[in-house]
């Protein structure tokens, strides 16, 4: 299932079967006082594994670094737009040169410019080569549950995210569930977010449970698998 | 021990103790018919963990992609010099902005231009900020054993590397130990290496054992730990 | 009101009064069979003029080119992410060097990566200089009327946009109101959009009127003016 | 006549007739105490319109920003060489992809590096695609009148330029005609020009009249039209 | 006299005397059937040596490569605008870091974009550091003799240039003096110049003599030395 | 023998004979108190001339600037990795466009990242065009004599280098032979080397003689010529 566990002749054989190759992209980003910096990476990898199982696909080594504006919180590591763009572009170029035709990029981090860099690189490949690339954040699907399972304003490090990490890696969730109302001025460009969201949470995690997390993850996997099957004509 | 397992307030506390922060860099590169594409990553992470234990340090999320000229072998994923340079530069900038003062970069992959990109980025940081950065490949130390424990020409996917992977992840080593004499013309720039080294091994793995791997890894860790203590005045 | 109509000593005087300086950014992009390629530019400039009037501000020469993925439609001119980023960055650097402290960037074009380039450049300036920058698309406000004045799925070249152009430049609106259901596969990266949206409209313009356009424009201006006053403490 | 006033199907039809497509490039640059910052843009657009009329061509949305060394005068907005180069390159790439074969770039601003960026981008296109591109500043022609209609040293914001703006937009010309002898050291690279040309005029505007401006503009148009006809075999 | 002939402690001593440091820039460019590809380099170095003698200055190792549009003639080696820009920028940064305060850049090649790259790099240094940089082509002075000593249209590989090379390196001048009227269309961007100037000469060399070359070189040196003295207050 | 001494029709003829074209690359770098800054350039050019003679090849104008970390010593001029990469790339592109098929790049400077930039540019050309490129430092061969003719640790500005410069340009060697034991910490990235190697010598020059230099140079030329003949099938 993992690209990197194979030898090169094994990869060569495997590529001939036209597998879906999945690139999980996370981030190293603050997620409040209770969730680990790897939260986005954990979720992307979890989803990637489930889809790889279902599709008999391959998972590329994950990218643990993304672009995020929350980098004035200690521990957050944001890489530049062009760094991320070139990293994804180089990887896509190499695997499509090797014959890969079906690519799924799952990002656990969903911020707009981060996704933009990934899509921009993917678009360049699609324009130059005859391959199919699907790009999404699992949050594109998970947030369909807002106003259904969770409050409409559920967001970064809130109920959905806390529940999912409880489900995936409960041991990494701290008891320290703090949330404070932010006061970001609409449309203003900010130097940093630490003053705006003092605890790094954009909505309250209260109400999160492991069971809810499992339910959400199941929803995400099921929905995503349907779309994958249709998009890649499986 | 893992940066990404912590929350941002935990990282903030931890950084105040002035820990050595370790960035493991691997590669996704062919290693013959018997070793996995992740061989360099596995070794870098293994060494990083041992040094982190000894120094009570932190390990950053690994970079699984490096620059390699062996990219005409299927499965190998090489990223550009500037991609790697910018990735390392961005990470170093972020963690030093957060207050990290002691950094150790361990690359399991040792090719010259790959190490050059890492050192070039590190040098830029050292010139601009008051931090200490140590950069090496664990092979800088492991190859001290050439002509002692192993033949002088032991190289890529040969006895040392095979032994070490047997020690670290025996389950990923295949039985298929093939080696064929290469015929690279001296100093000539080549389009690819597949024609030169038909099996992707630059020296024979025959003679590799798990026990030898353990011995080598112990040597590397011990030697490296001595240097780390001296360089960072521990 | 227009930066470019003044002489340099006049600008120098004007800047001393600490005006809001507005940069309108449009696009040169297909808008179906009935709207001109300048639709986004027209709307951005219209809104810029209204806010400049209210705030006694200055309007910079507009940028008529943006990033858009609809560039396989003839006439559409898309510029690269980095081209747009550098253009906005250079302009912001020059005017802030001249002493401008309050900047409002209004983009008539709202696509994610286009806005991302503008915000990314603005963020760099805000991190380096003590200035305030507000960035939005007037569609961030106009689309608040979806599910109220117009159908929820109203989109590119649909009722809102057609109504607004009828209001602003009726002479440029053609009678040819065609819409065809698109069939974009979810999350798939596409080479072009011509096959997906055969008429270049992403929702039907039927129902658009000049009166509706006036109403929408009034709403946008009023809402925006409120936010501007608060953000810049007028 | 204006590219941006058309819909995409109209552009598609129009391009089939193989029109000359004109890109007017101006600047936002100080022009003394009497001329507006838009002086170069006004002249480029004026000339573009006349040639578009004569040739039944299309005018692209203008670029109001260029590279200029006069950027220490307030109000002047200079963009970098590479910013301008990439902007022109992207535009040329898009319109030639759409089938445009005959391109005329008219820059109202004539400084050497500014023209260099435009020509360098155009050369790249001409080397890659089978299209014709003509690049000039209208001042390449207007300055043929030096030593004839005006003094030999007539220059930036002097008699020719003031006369032309009087002809094109008399309402924007202020009464404040100041000129002071500059003292630039030959061949020395300067940080700025404000100390060298205290009033932003490089030659005296005295003697400028609207009638002279009309005469000059007629000369420019006539001469240019002759060259255009010959170059594009009309 | 030559920077590179000294040891580093000698340079250190020499810089304390605040010398003029001269960077000669040439080109590797066709100069007809009779002049060597090094013609521009030879002239720049000759002039640099004379001024270094008079000023007791230092000459940096020459740059033999420049930007030229004549690169479809065999043997011509043109480097990109940004390559030249960065090369000059890096050199200027290093020597000004070492304490050099007075810099004279003499380019034997005079094409507009080539000079633009050199000036653009120099301007960046002058804006950031307190140093004086003078940039010119010796042809800026030599061409003052047009319409006096030689025909007004004397140009590339014509009488002045042939005479000067006869004076500087007679042994490199071939007997093959061919010139053919070119037919470049005004303002058109061309793919190459070989079809336009079939012999690589832009004006006839007939009339060139060694004596004339000596006279011209004396004029250039004398004039340049006057300007250097004034500009650097010697 | 020198590319630049020829006219373009002569180069055209010469290229038809499929010559080896040699690019000598040096550096402007401190070499202790006794050797000139041009030491690397002198050696590269010397070797280039000998091989050009033997092969009836052509020598391109030398590049006197390279990447070096010793740039805190006065007089040293280091250019960036990308500057060097682009310079070499542009030159290689131009000469291969002219029909050159066999290229030998000899660098007198041997530092790892410097060689990396040259090889990286060469690799790009080899991947795109059907040409042969051989890249080495003459020190790759000269250092084969370590532990034979000279001590094993002989290094920068030591016995081999001093001997060779005595042989090539005795007049440029100063009497001031100083060496001081350096104390570089293993694997640590340093801001500069002046504190580490106080005299700029990395090993002692004592024992150097002109006769030894001749012997070494003969060895280098002979060995290199053998390899060249084999690599280019002469």
Number of domains in chain D: 1
Q: Is the pLDDT confidence value at F182 over 90?
A: no
Distance from CA of B148 to the nearest CA of F (A): 19
Q: To the nearest whole angstrom, how far is the Cα of A116 from the nearest Cα of chain C? A: 5
pLDDT exceeding 90 applies to what percent of chain E? 97
> Touch between chain E and chain B (3+ CB pairs, < 8 Å)?
no
Q: Can you give the pTM of this predicted structure?
A: 0.98
In this prediction, residue A49 carries a pLDDT of 98
B48: nearest Cα among B16, B21, B71, B69? B21
Residue range of the domain that includes A80: 3-9+17-226
Class of residue F109 by CB neighbours under 10 A (exposed 0-12, middle 13-18, buried 19+): buried
Mean pLDDT, to the nearest integer, of C82-103? 98
* pLDDT, position F228: 98
**Subunits close to E (at least 3 CB pairs below 8 A):** D, F
pLDDT band at C183 (very low <50, low <70, confident <90, very high): confident
Per residue in F64-100, pLDDT tens? Answer: 999 999 999 999 999 999 999 999 999 999 999 999 9
Give bridge partners of residue F65 from the DSSP assignment.
none
Give the residue-averaged pLDDT of F190-211.
95
* DSSP summary character for residue A184: P
Across the interface, whether the CB atoms of C134 and A190 are under 8 A apart is answered: no
- Selecting from A12, A30, A78 the residue whose C-beta is nearest the C-beta of B74 gives A12
Assign A26 to helix, strand or coil: coil
Answer yes or no: is pLDDT of F184 > 90. no
pLDDT tens for D82-125 read 999 999 999 999 999 999 999 999 999 999 999 999 999 999 99
What are the structure tokens assigned to D201, written together?
A: 């005029």
Examine the predicted complex and report whether its ipTM is higher than 0.90.
Answer: yes
Closest residue in F to E7 (Cα) is: F36
Q: Which of D127, D185, D191 sits opposite E127 (nearest CB)?
A: D191
Asked whether residue F108 carries a pLDDT value surpassing 90, the answer given is yes
Counted across chains D and E, CB pairs separated by less than 8 A come out at 77
Q: What is the DSSP letter of C22?
A: E
> Stretch E100-127: mean pLDDT, rounded?
98
| Residue D67 pLDDT class (50, 70, 90 cuts) | very high
Element at D142 (helix H, strand E): helix D138-142
Domain of residue E77, CATH code:
3.40.50.10310
Confidence of residue F145 (pLDDT cuts 50, 70, 90): very high
Residue of A nearest to C185 (CA): A231
- Residue B233 lies inside a defined structural domain of this protein: no
Please give the helix or strand (H or E) that residue C135 lies within, else none: strand C132-137
Nearest CA-CA distance, residue D12 and chain E, Å: 26
Contact F191 B127 (CB under 8 A): yes
Interchain proximity F83–E87, CB inside 8 Å: yes
Among all residues of chain C, which has the CA nearest to that of D172?
C5
Token pair, residue D119, equals 């020509």
Which residues of C are less than 8 Å from A140 in CB distance?
A: 187
Q: Does the residue B173 lie in any domain?
A: yes
Under an 8 A CB cutoff, do E94 and F80 touch? no
- CA-nearest residue of chain F to E170? F5
User: To the nearest whole angstrom, how far is the Cα of A34 from the nearest Cα of chain B?
Assistant: 6
Across the interface, which of C81, C126, C190 has its CB nearest the CB of A190? C126
3-state helix/strand/coil string of chain E: CEHHHCCHHHHHHHHHCCCEEEEEECCECCECECECCCHHHHHHHHHHHHHHHHHCCEECCCECCECCCCCCCCCCEECCHHHHHHHHHHHHHHHHHCCCCEEEEEECCCCHHHHHHHHHHHHHHHHHCCCEEEEEEHHHHHHHHECCCECCCCCCCCHHHHHHHHHHHHHHCCCCCCCCCCCCCCCECCCCCCCCCCCCCCCCCCCCCHHHHHHHHHHHHHHHHHHHHHHCCC
**D231 belongs to a structural domain:** no
Under 8 Å CB pairs connecting chains A and C tally to 75
Q: Mark yes or no for CB contact C4/D36 under 8 Å.
A: yes
pLDDT at E228 over 90: yes
Residues of F with Cβ-Cβ distance to B125 under 8 angstroms: 189
Q: Do C4 and D76 touch (CB under 8 A)?
A: no
pLDDT in tens, A43-70: 999 999 999 999 999 999 999 999 999 9
Cβ <8 Å between F120 and B126: no
pLDDT over 90 at D56, yes or no: yes
- Residue-level pLDDT at F183: 81
Mean pLDDT lowest for which of D23-32, D179-188, F27-36, F196-205? D179-188
Do chains D and C have 3 or more beta-carbon pairs under 8 angstroms?
yes
pLDDT tens for A184-201 read 899 999 999 998 999 999
Closest Cβ opposite residue B5 in set A78, A99, A172: A172
- pLDDT-derived band at D181 (thresholds 50, 70, 90) equals confident
Q: What is the pLDDT of residue B12?
A: 98
Region B47-56: mean pLDDT is 98
Residue D42 placed within a domain: yes
* Shortest CA distance from F120: residue in chain B: B113
**Average pLDDT rounded to a whole number, residues A156-161:** 98
CA distance A172 to chain C (A): 31
Distance from CA of C86 to the nearest CA of A (A): 13
Residue F232 in domain: no
pLDDT in tens, A18-27: 999 999 999 9
Residue D211 in any domain: the answer is yes
Q: How far is F85 from chain B (nearest CA, A)?
A: 11
Nearest to F36 among E6, E33, E34 (CB): E6
* B128: confidence class by pLDDT, cuts 50, 70, 90: very high
Q: Is F8 close to E174, i.e. CB distance below 8 A? A: no
Report CB contact under 8 Å: E185, D231: yes
Tokens, residue E162: 């042939």
Give me the percent of chain F exceeding a pLDDT of 90.
Answer: 97
Q: What residues have CB less than 8 Å from E145, skipping those under 6 apart?
A: E160, E216, E219
Q: pLDDT at position D38, please?
A: 98
The residues on C that touch A, with CB distances below 8 Å, are 69, 81-82, 112-113, 115-116, 119-120, 122-123, 125-127, 132-136, 140, 185-191, 227, 230-231
Supply the mean pLDDT for chain B: 97
Of A120, A134, A140, nearest to C188 by CB-CB distance is A134
Q: If 0-12 CB within 10 Å is exposed, 13-18 middle and 19+ buried, where does residue B143 land? A: middle
Task: Please indicate whether, in this complex, the C-beta atoms of D230 and E113 are within 8 angstroms of each other.
Answer: no
Average pLDDT, chain C: 97
Tell me, what's the pLDDT at E184?
Answer: 84
Q: Which of E7, E34, E97 sits opposite F7 (nearest CB)?
A: E34
Q: How confident is the model at residue C181 (pLDDT cuts 50, 70, 90)?
A: confident
Mean pLDDT, all residues of chain E:
97
Is the pLDDT assigned to residue A181 strictly greater than 90? no
Chain F positions in Cβ-Cβ contact with residue B82 (cut-off 8 Å): 82
Shortest CA gap D123–chain C (Å): 18
Assess if residue C25 is contained within a domain. Answer: yes
* Confidence category of residue C65, pLDDT binned at 50, 70, 90: very high
Residues of A in contact with C134 (CB under 8 A): 187-189
pLDDT tens for E49-106 read 999 999 999 999 999 999 999 999 999 999 999 999 999 999 999 999 999 999 999 9
- Which residues of A sit within 8 Å Cβ distance of C? 69, 81-82, 112-113, 115-116, 119-120, 122-123, 125-127, 132-136, 140, 185-191, 227, 230-231
Q: Do A116 and C119 touch (CB under 8 A)?
A: no
Q: Do chains B and A touch (3 or more CB pairs under 8 A)?
A: yes
Q: In this complex, do E189 and D123 lie within 8 Å of one another by their Cβ atoms?
A: yes
Instruction: Please report the pLDDT score of residue D182 as a whole number.
Output: 81
Cβ atoms of A61 and A91 closer than 8 Å: no
Asked if the Cβ–Cβ distance from A61 to B28 is below 8 Å, we say: yes
Instruction: Tell me the per-residue pLDDT of E138-155, one tens digit each, with 9 for 90 and over.
Output: 999 999 999 999 999 999
Say what the pLDDT of residue F181 is.
85
**At what angle are helices B159-169 and B210-231 packed, to 10 degrees?**
90
Average the pLDDT over D27-41 and give the result: 98
Q: Which tens digit of pLDDT belongs to each residue from A108-152?
A: 999 999 999 999 999 999 999 999 999 999 999 999 999 999 999
In a domain, C231, yes or no: no
Q: Which of E220, E170, E230 is nearest to E49 (CA)?
A: E220
Tens of pLDDT, residues B170-202 = 999 999 999 988 888 999 999 999 989 999 999
Phi-psi region of E145 (alpha: psi -120 to 50; beta: other; left: phi over 0): alpha
Strand, helix or coil for residue A156: coil
Q: Using a threshold of 3 CB pairs under 8 A, tell whether chains B and D touch.
A: no
> Encoding tokens for residue C126?
């805000």
């Amino acid at each position: 299932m993992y690209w990197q566990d194979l030898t090169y002749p094994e990869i060569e054989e495997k590529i001939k079967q036209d597998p879906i190759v999945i690139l999980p992209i996370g981030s190293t980003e603050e997620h409040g006082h209770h969730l680990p910096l790897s939260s986005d990476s954990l979720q992307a990898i979890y989803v990637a594994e489930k889809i790889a199982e279902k599709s008999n696909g391959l998972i590329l080594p994950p990218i643990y670094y993304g672009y995020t504006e929350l980098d004035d919180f200690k521990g957050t590591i944001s890489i530049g737009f062009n760094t991320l763009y070139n990293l994804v572009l180089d990887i896509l170029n190499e695997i499509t040169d090797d014959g890969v035709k079906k690519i799924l990029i799952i990002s656990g981090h969903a911020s707009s410019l981060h996704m933009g860099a990934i899509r921009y690189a993917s678009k360049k490949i699609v324009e130059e080569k005859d391959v199919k690339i699907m790009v999404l954040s699992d949050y594109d699907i998970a947030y369909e549950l807002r106003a259904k399972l969770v409050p409409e304003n559920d967001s970064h490090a809130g109920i959905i995210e806390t529940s999912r990490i409880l489900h995936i890696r409960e041991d990494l969730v701290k008891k320290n569930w703090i949330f404070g109302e932010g006061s970001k001025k609409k449309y203003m460009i900010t130097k940093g977010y630490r003053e705006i969201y003092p605890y790094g949470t954009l909505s309250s995690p209260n109400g999160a449970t492991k069971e809810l997390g499992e339910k959400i993850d199941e929803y995400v996997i099921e929905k995503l698998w349907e779309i994958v099957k249709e998009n890649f004509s499986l």
